[in-house]
Amino acid sequence: MEKLNSHDFQLINTCIQQIYSLRTLAEFPKWIMMLLEDLIISEESFCCSFTTQVNMMAGTMVNTWADIATPEYLRDNPALQNYLKTGSPEPNKISNFISDRDFLNREGLYETLFLHYRMRDQLGFMVSDSRRDDGLIADFEEVLCDRLKSLVDGSLPVEERPLLSAIVADPTTFYQNETLGHLSIGFHRSNRSFTDRDLSILAILLPHLKIAYRNSQQYTKFQRQLQQQSQVFDRLKAIVLTVSGDVSLISASIGNLLAYYFDGEWINSNQLPDILNSWVKQQLKVQQADLIVPIQPWQIEKNGRKLKIDLLCDFAAEQHLLICSEQSVDFSPIPHFESIGLSKREAAVLALVAAGKANLQIAEQLTISIKTVKKHLEHIFSKLNATSRIDAVNKALQQLDRSVR
């Protein structure tokens, strides 16, 4: 294994600091590729984003490396086949698996793609977030592998195949419900010259890329909701911090929440509870140090309820965000939604929409078809005079507020 020198570590630390600069999902792929291309020299590179939101996969390419998800390519790419078998997202290069002669003889790999771009090797890896605690998907890696395998063995329905390899202009199209995504990143050279140094650098960066990608998903969700309705900030349980970690703006819903979990310690809306404030300042100090480490969420439990607080740092914008989410809350909005004119099933669908579930997940949880879910949503939109999922949830909550008064 080729050892990294001090200059390599300096470049890596600089890259990590920039990785955590907040970007939307539309901006994230190009931003990451710009950073990585300073570390990994290549003649061609690509970043493909995938989602299983609609029970299929679609990609958006950062550059012109197109038509990458053909059945022949997937079948003949040994690095991708290794991923399908092991599920490991770690960096790998094609030359680790097959000889140059074998590479040239693989029609689906070389003749249909690499020959056109005059490339002879590929170094790539996967960036995804398969967390279970948010309940968005059971296991993203497993679902993605199933989609790829079904394309390779021909079992994927014909009508879904064009969408599987579709190249779209805006990746946010496939994140309308904040479904967890998956990035495939790769570099190509005209000779087999990728080194252990390249593999080591990407292996060090991979955990940071995963967290930065998760931050991007949360940041995109925050931005989209904030743009759609100004008062949504109060329901996001968010705190805007200055660059030094002091409170700049706090949503109204945070007060009772912080008071509950911190035993009434929180009484000043301009300052965080002491223990939380100390944690924030320590994390910011670490992020500004030479050695950057991933930020793990702050979690506190009380009486069967759990509060999770994510710190999203953006030194470039001179502000940071604290995003709070509560789990295992006993409150069920279903009967309340019925009180504003929705049927029992419509209320159940809207409650799952409010919980961030996609149509496929709603269908599975309620044991109905996706078509039925869409029909219920049409009725909900009509009854609430709503134009989107978020708009429907917000209008339902507004009606509940008026009925309480």
Residues 320 and 389 in one domain: no
Q: What CATH number is attached to the domain comprising 278?
A: 3.30.450
How confident is the model over 261-272, as a mean pLDDT? Answer: 69
**DSSP per residue, 116-164:** HHT--EEEEEEEE---STT-S-S-HHHHHHHHHHHHHTT-S-GGGHHHH
Residues 189 and 101 in one domain: yes
**DSSP per residue, 66-111:** --TT-HHHHHH-HHHHHHHHH-----EEGGGTS-HHHHHH-IIIII
Cα separation, 239 vs 322, whole angstroms: 5
How confident is the model over 361-384, as a mean pLDDT? Answer: 91
Q: What are the helix (H) ranges across 295-388?
A: 334-338, 344-354, 359-366, 370-384
In SS3 terms, 23-52 reads as CCCCCHHHHHHHHHCCCCCCCEEEEEEEEC
Pairwise pLDDT comparison (302 vs 279), residue with the higher score: 279
Question: Which helix H or strand E contains 302, and what residues bound it?
Answer: strand 298-302
- 88-139 confidence digits (pLDDT tens): 888 999 999 999 889 888 888 888 778 877 888 989 898 875 443 333 333 4
Q: Which one, of 308, 307, 313, 277, lies nearest residue 295 by Cα?
A: 313
Q: How confident is the model at residue 366 (pLDDT cuts 50, 70, 90)?
A: confident
Q: Is the pLDDT of residue 284 over 90?
A: no
> Residue 300 in contact with residue 306, Cβ under 8 Å?
yes
Q: How confident is the model at residue 396 (pLDDT cuts 50, 70, 90)?
A: confident
Task: Tally the domains of the chain.
Answer: 3
End position of a domain, from candidates 157, 192, 224: 224
Pairwise pLDDT comparison (334 vs 195), residue with the higher score: 195
- 313-361 confidence digits (pLDDT tens): 887 778 888 888 887 544 456 667 888 889 989 988 988 888 778 899 8
Residues 277 and 191 in one domain: no
Q: What's the confidence (pLDDT) of residue 400?
A: 76
In sequence order, the 6+-apart residues with CB closer than 8 A to the CB of 394 are: 229, 231, 232, 235
Q: Is the pLDDT of residue 160 over 70?
A: no
Q: What mean pLDDT is reported for the chain? A: 75
- 225-246 confidence digits (pLDDT tens): 766 655 556 666 788 888 888 8
Cα separation, 175 vs 199, whole angstroms: 30
> Residue 166 in contact with residue 59, Cβ under 8 Å?
yes
Residues 238 and 103 in one domain: no
Q: Which one, of 310, 331, 311, lies nearest residue 319 by Cα?
A: 311
Residues 36 and 100 in one domain: yes
**1 belongs to a structural domain:** no
Residues 66 and 198 in one domain: yes
Q: What is the pTM of this model?
A: 0.49
How confident is the model over 366-374, as a mean pLDDT? Answer: 91
Q: What's the confidence (pLDDT) of residue 109?
A: 82
Cα separation, 37 vs 188, whole angstroms: 11
- 32-86 confidence digits (pLDDT tens): 989 998 899 988 888 876 554 333 333 333 443 444 556 677 778 888 788 777 7
Print the domain residue range for 251.
230-327
Least confident stretch, 121-135, 287-301, 315-329, 377-391: 121-135
**342 belongs to a structural domain:** yes
Q: What CATH number is attached to the domain comprising 126?
A: 3.30.450.80
Q: What's the confidence (pLDDT) of residue 206?
A: 93
End position of a domain, from candidates 207, 224, 241: 224
Q: Is the pLDDT of residue 178 over 50?
A: no
